[in-house]
Structure 1
Amino acid sequence: MEKETQIFGIRAVIEAVQAGENIDKVFVQKGLKGELSHELEGVLRKQRLNFSYVPVEKLNKLTSKNHQGVVAQIAPITFWDIEELVTKVTESGKTPLFLLLDQLSDVRNFGAIIRTAECTGVDGIIIQKKGGAPVNGDTIKTSAGAVFKMPICKVDHIKDAMFFMQASGIKVIAATEKTDDVLYDVSFTEPCAIIMGSEGKGINPSVLKLVDAKAKLPILGEIESLNVSVACGAFLYEAVRQRR
C-alpha cells in the first residue's frame, strides 16, 4: 500500500472530494472565511466526511506548502463496506468476531488496537466516519503494519453497525464499567462484536442502551480504569480463550 497522501488548498480538496478520493480526514483552519471556504464546508457536510477545525499552527505542522487553511488526508487503505464484510465472514463458516470503536480519538491507541485485533483473529473493525482517529502514519506505525491486513469499515454512526450486526445474528457486547458483569462471566463463544468507547467518555450512553450484553474488567488497584487499547486486548484474548 502507498504511504499517507495529503491534499492541500481549498479548491484542490473540493475537487478531490467530488472526484471520490478516499479521504480519511480534513483539517480546516478555525475562522476560515470566504465563498470558497463556505463551498468546501458544504461539500464536506454533504459527503459526511470527517473534518475538524484546527488552529493554523496545526496545519503548518502537517505541511510546509501553501495550504490556504485546508489539509486533507487520503487514507492509505481502502475501507470495506460493512454489509459486504459481514456477509463474507458469516458465509465463511467461522464464528464471527468483530470490533466496534465508538469515536476512539487517539491514533496510537487505534494502531495498537488494530495490531491486537489482527493477532486475535478479529474479522473486522468498524469505526464511525466522524469523530474518530484517522488512519495515518502514526496508526500504521503503531499497528506494525496490521492496518494493511485488517478489514476496516466506516459507518455514518456506530448505531448503524450495531443494528446491522444484531439483524445478522451477531451479539453486541459493550466493554464498560457500568455493569456488575465481569467479562469472564460473559460468553464470547457465539458470533459477537465487542464495542469499545472513547478514551475520555467511554461508550456513548445512547449506544450503550442498545447493546445485548455488558462486561467489565475487574480493577483491583486504586486507578479506576485501563488504557482503552490495553482493555481491548484483555477482552479480545478472553474471547480467544473461550473459543479455544
Structure 2
Amino acid sequence: MFSEMPCNVLQSVQRKRLSRTLLIKGLELKTVCKLYSSYNGTPEYNHRLTGQGKKSEKFFKEHRVEVEVRGEVLFGIHPVSLALQAHKRTLHRLYVKQNTEFGGEGRGVIEQANKLGIPVQWVTKQALNQLSGSRPNQGVCMDVSKLHIPTASSHICWTEMKSKWKYPVWLMPYNVQDPMNFGAILRTAFFLGVDQVLIPHNSCPPTPVVSKASSGALEVMEGLTRLPEEGILIETLKNWRAGGGEVVAACLESQENIPIMPLREFSVTKPVFMVVGNEERGISEAVMQQCNQAVYIPGNNTGRVGSLNVSVATAILIHHVVSNNDKISS
C-alpha cells in the first residue's frame, strides 16, 4: 500500500535523533531516525569523497528538505536492486522519485520492495538529491543498515578456502582511500572472479558511495574480509607465503631485495596474492617486505603521464593473473 501515493510529512524536527510522526494514508507511524536535512553539504557516509556532487552546500542550505533515515542511504538503481536481492542488509525504506514512470530495472526495484514488504515512499527530486549527497541516483534511494563485513583472523590462508581457480587469486587494495577508485576495484574483482578481497584497516570503508562506484558489486560479493590491524595483515601475508603462495606487489619502481619485472613477463604458477597501493603513498615498507615479487605496467615513457589510476592498474593486473590461470569447473 505504500507505493500507491507519496507520503506527506506533517511534522518538522531539528535534532539529530528523535521520535517522528508520519501520516501515511491515515496510518500513524512513529520512527526513531537520523535527520538528513541537518548535514553540512556532504552526508557522513561520503567518506573522503571530493567535491559536493552536482549541487553545492549553499544549494542545500537554500533548498532544505526534511528527510529522515535510520541507517545509511544506498543510491542508484544497480546498488539498490542488488541489495534487495542479496539480503545482506536490513532494508528500512525505499525512496523513489514522484511523478516518474519507471521501466525495466527501475520498475523491478519497486516491485521487489513491495514483494519483500519494504515501505516505498515517493519523494521529490530535491529529497533524493539530499539523500544521495547530490550524487547521481537515477530516482532511487534506499535506507539500509550498514553492510557487515567479517573480520579476518591472522590464520586466514588460501589453503583453507575454496577457489574457482587452479591457483587461488586474492587481492588487497592497501591504503586505497578514494571511494570511487575503491568501488571500481571491487567491481573489477567481482567481474573477473577474484576469490577474496581483503580490506585493510587503512583503506576506504564500504560506504554507499563505494557501492555506487562498484555498480552494486559490493552488495553481492562473497569473500570480502576486513583486516583490522597491520599485525594481522602482515601475518596473513606470511601465512600465504608459508603455504606455498606468491605475494605480488604492483609498483612503479624497483624495490630493495624484491625482484621486479614487467607484468607481461609474470607467470602464474602458484596461488597469487596481489597487493595494490595508494597512488600517492604506495605500499608500506613493512608490507613490501612480505612480497616476493613486484610487477609494473610499462607505459610509453613520454614523461607527461607517469602512471595509471590505481583502479585501472588493478584491473590490468587482475586480468593478467586470471587470463594466465585455469578456471575450475563448478
TM-score, with normalisation over the residues of structure 1? Answer: 0.65
Tell me if 1:62 matches 2:142: no
Residues 17-37 of structure 1 show CA distances to partners (whole Å, capped at 9, x for unaligned) of xxxxxxxxxxxxxxxxxxxxx
Correspondence for 2:294 = 214
Q: Where in structure 2 are there 5+ consecutive unaligned residues?
A: 1-15, 18-38, 46-65, 73-143, 255-259
How far apart in 1 are the matches of 2:234 and 2:212?
29
Correspondence for 2:242 = 167
Within 5 Å, give how 1:13-162 maps onto structure 2.
57=40, 61-62=43-44, 75-79=146-150, 81=152, 83=155, 86-89=158-161, 94-129=166-201, 131-147=202-218, 148-155=220-227, 156-157=229-230, 158-162=233-237
Deviation at 1:127, TM superposition (A): 1.8
What amino acid is aligned across from residue 166 of structure 1 in structure 2? R
Residues 98-135 of structure 1 show CA distances to partners (whole Å, capped at 9, x for unaligned) of 00121110111111101101111100111212x21010
Q: Where in structure 1 are there 5+ consecutive unaligned residues?
A: 1-7, 10-55, 66-70
Mark the structure with the bigger radius of gyration.
Answer: 2
Label 1:122 to 1:214 Cα distance change in 2 as closer, same or farther (>3 A).
same
Correspondence for 1:241 = 323
- When the two structures are aligned, how many residues end up with a matched partner? 184
Give the 4+ runs in structure 1 shifted more than 4 A: 82-85, 90-93
How far apart in 2 are the matches of 1:99 and 1:159?
14
CA contact (8 A) 1:101 1:196 kept: yes
1:196 to 257, 267, 276: 276
Correspondence for 1:50 = none
Which structure would you say has the larger RCO, counting Cα contacts within 8 Å and 6 or more residues apart? 1
What amino acid is aligned across from residue 150 of structure 2 in structure 1? F
Residues 194-220 of structure 1 show CA distances to partners (whole Å, capped at 9, x for unaligned) of 100113111112321221100000011
Residues 177-235 of structure 1 show CA distances to partners (whole Å, capped at 9, x for unaligned) of 12351011112242011100113111112321221100000011431110000000010
**Bigger helix fraction:** 1
How far apart in 1 are the matches of 2:165 and 2:305?
41
CA contact (8 A) 2:262 2:297 kept: yes
TM-score, with normalisation over the residues of structure 2? Answer: 0.49
CA contact (8 A) 1:99 1:124 kept: yes
Instruction: Name whichever of 226-235 and 181-190 sits farther off.
Output: 181-190
CA contact (8 A) 2:165 2:325 kept: no
Other structure's SS at 1:243 match: coil
Tell me if 1:181 matches 2:163: no
